[in-house]
Amino acid sequence: MKAFDAKHIKNVVLLGSHGCGKTTLAETMLFEAGLINRRGRVEDKNTVSDFHPIEHERGSSVYATCLHTEWRNFKINIIDTPGLDDLVGETIPALRVADTCVLLLDAHHGVEVGTDLVWEHMQRYDRPVIIGINQLDHANADFDLTLAQAKEHFGNAVTVMQYPVEQGEGFHRIIDLLKMTMYVFKDAGGKPEKQPIPESEKARAEELHKILVEKAAENDEMLMEHYFERGELDEDEMRLGLKQGMMKRTCFPVFCLSALRNMGSGRLMGFIDNVAPSAVEMPPEPLATDGNEPSALWLECRADGPAVLFTFKTMMEPKTGQLTFFKVMSGTVKEGQELVNDNNGTTERVGQLFIVEGKERKQVDQLAAGDIGCTLKLKDTSTAHTLHAPGKSIKLQPIAYPQPRLRLTIKAKDQKLEEKLHAALLEIQKEDPTIQLHYMRETGQQVVSGQGELHLNLLKWRLGHQYKIEIDFGSPRVSYRETIRKPAAAMYRHKKQTGGSGQFGEVHLKIEPWYEGIPEPTGHSLRGKDEHDLPTGGKLVFYNCIVGGVIDAKFMPSILKGIMEKMEKGPLTGSPARDVRVIVHDGKMHPVDSNDISFKIAGTMAFKEAFINAEPQLMEPIQEIVVRVPEDLMGDVMTDLQNRRSVVMGVEGQGRFQVITALTPLAELDRYSTTLRSLTQGRGTYTEKFHTYQQVPTELQHKLMSSHKEEEVMA
């Protein structure tokens, strides 16, 4: 394969809502460049990009796919991304390594919900943006309306570079305002004929050209002077100004496309070559500290710099094993080179190097700064790791993935496959870090979290088809906590005689609610104190107040052990107990029959009885949720939140959206992401985090206690 220097490598990511034509455009770009002889179709399941079985079954992209094309002595690396927000775990890594975003809009749907959602992610990365208005050959295409919506949603940086002379089924002519030329396409598309702008379009074209020139000039003082002197800029000057505007995000050039009929893609590729910045022209990458926070140091993408790779995607292939995709952030990487993984300190040998074309791989002997490729079988390297030449430590910032929005329990239908299921989930998690696994010790449930119903259903499909494991999803049990509201006392005598040595232990104790700063107990002689920070939160404070030797000191640890075991599964619902202090002040023992097990049982039963008599209270986890919804749909969302026992803490305007902050019981958030999408036609999003534990309402507490008793009887 031809070698390209860093300035002639361009990295673009295709973004947009589901169905806007990203995969079709990628296919057309490969065809135009001559890398494929025949354009595939999504409907025919034969595109280069969508090659996974699940993509064929669904008829849409599920994974981000790396491609490349060569156009007029430039190499363009293309990453085709899925358009559904549930699959954002594929989109964000592509954004992280791309140098230019190509945002596609569907000319007959305009700016869609999915467009707004992907725009939110684009905003975090400050990448240059090109807007392609696609499907202008659709019967209901409306370029002007789509353009107006783009300006409304994305601001005045939206700049017309091209506009169609006609649209709909007769679309075949595009006026280019940079070159001031009309491109005329045949019905089959392909290379257009260049013609002068017709008289009927000259006034509009000249007006829009003037706006484009001003947009280019405003980004550079020298260009502005030339514009004032001559009233015009030449084509090279406009390219320079537009590049600067794209990098400053003051200019989002708009192109006209029919990817399906191969109209406009060649001009778009030429603009990417000549104007879109390469990696070496982009601002340097911030380095990370040990805590992954940004540091004051930066890494420049230089061909003569140290060799540095950043991994952005991992794939597990059944026969090949782990395939790791990376961008060369600096220097040159060669086959057989040894690099240090700065995330874990291990040394990796880079074996074979490949450039990727969907499922096909082409071996190369080296990759230069700014290029994208992959390698096989890195042992200790995962997604978002930094590998560099030995010597100075270099660590790039990690990829910031969104928090999960849906949690479900997962178990194999065949219990014999549980171990295989766990191994499969860990392997899938390597590929998709937005899948999170968590074992809830309190409830004994394995929980899997993802971005939504579709995301987890795709996980289920993979487990069934790829790993041959049938699974069941369920709603996770809420991890409640138990505590007390007043002091109480109890005693318990454990006595058991079985013919030989018996068992005997008697424990008298008091329990009280514990809180930070509580004074030491009075009225007892304090012999010892143990403070325990419980693994499930809260505290147990244990006092030994035995006098006169009524219980030997060697049995106190057994009493404490019995109490702690009971606190792991509290008396009310089997949930962990917390924030209790226990005072053991009296008891009895037998010179022969007393032993550790006797006092452990006596301590457990005395604590249980005292707990029941101390006005026990069930506590539930409260989440702080931040809901972002369109202003016109806020009423429905607020009503739904109130029905979920939420306490609204504030509402703040954010452009066309309202941001609601509320405290909501976790028990009320089961599948909330699905409900929110339904209420807002997919335009609402939310995040959540743990806030505190609060008392459960009395009626709900009684209901939960009754359910627990029924479960104990059934067991």
- pLDDT tens digits, residue range 352-373? 999 999 999 999 999 999 999 9
Question: Dihedral of the CA atoms 558, 561, 565, 567 (nearest 10)?
Answer: 120
Tens digits of residue pLDDT in 236-255? 999 999 999 999 999 999 99
Type of residue numbered 389? A
Which pLDDT belongs to residue 349? 95
Residue limits of CATH 2.40.30.10 in the chain: 285-388
- Provide CATH 3.40.50.300 ranges for the chain: 6-212+246-281
pLDDT recorded at residue 296: 66
Q: Which part of the chain has CATH 3.30.230.10? A: 482-614
Taking 3-state DSSP, the helix, strand and coil percentages for the chain, each rounded to the nearest 5, stand at 30, 35, 35
In degrees rounded to 5, what are phi and psi of residue 247? Answer: -70, -30
C-beta of residue 84 within 8 angstroms of C-beta of residue 396: no
pLDDT, residue 291, reads 65
The 10 Å Cβ neighbour count of residue 362 is 12
- Where do runs of H (alpha helix) occur along 66-140? 88-97, 113-123
Q: Tell me, what's the pLDDT at 685?
A: 86
CATH 3.30.70.240 domain extents, the chain: 619-700
DSSP state for residue 110 in the 8-state scheme: B
Query: Three-class SS string for 306-356?
Result: CCEEEEEEEEEECCCEEEEEEEEEECEEECCCEEEECCCCCEEECCCEEEE
Helix axes 221-230, 235-248, angle to 10 degrees: 140
* Domain span(s) for CATH 3.30.70.870 in the chain: 406-474
**Half-sphere exposure (CA, 13 Å, Cβ side) for 457?**
8
DSSP E strand boundaries for 37-81: 65-71, 74-80
Beta strands in 199-272 (DSSP E): 252-256
Paired with 580 in beta bridges are 513, 540
pLDDT at 273: 94
The CA distance from 583 to 512, in Å, is 8
CATH fold for domain 619-700: Alpha-Beta Plaits (3.30.70)
Give CA–CA dist 404/449, Å, rounded: 6
Q: Which CATH class name applies to 482-614?
A: alpha beta
Structure tokens, 712: 């104990």
Q: What is the pLDDT of residue 656?
A: 79
Give the number of other Cβ atoms within 10 Å of residue 430's Cβ. Answer: 15
Tokens of 450: 């993802």
What is d(CA 450, CA 624) in angstroms, rounded to the nearest whole number? 19
What is the dotted CATH code of the domain comprising 285-388?
2.40.30.10
Over residues 361-408, the pLDDT tens digits come to: 999 999 999 999 999 989 999 999 999 999 889 999 999 999 898 999
- The CATH code that applies to domain 406-474 is 3.30.70.870
CB of 314 closer than 8 Å to CB of 323: yes
Spans in the chain with pLDDT lower than 70: 1, 291-296, 499, 715
- What CATH architecture applies to the domain 6-212+246-281? 3-Layer(aba) Sandwich (3.40)
Q: From its phi and psi, is residue 376 left (phi > 0), alpha (psi between -120 and 50) or beta?
A: beta
What angle separates helix 199-217 from helix 235-248, to the nearest 10 degrees?
A: 60
pTM surpassing 0.75? yes
Neighbour-count burial of 179, counting CB atoms closer than 10 A to its CB (0-12 exposed, 13-18 middle, 19+ buried) = middle
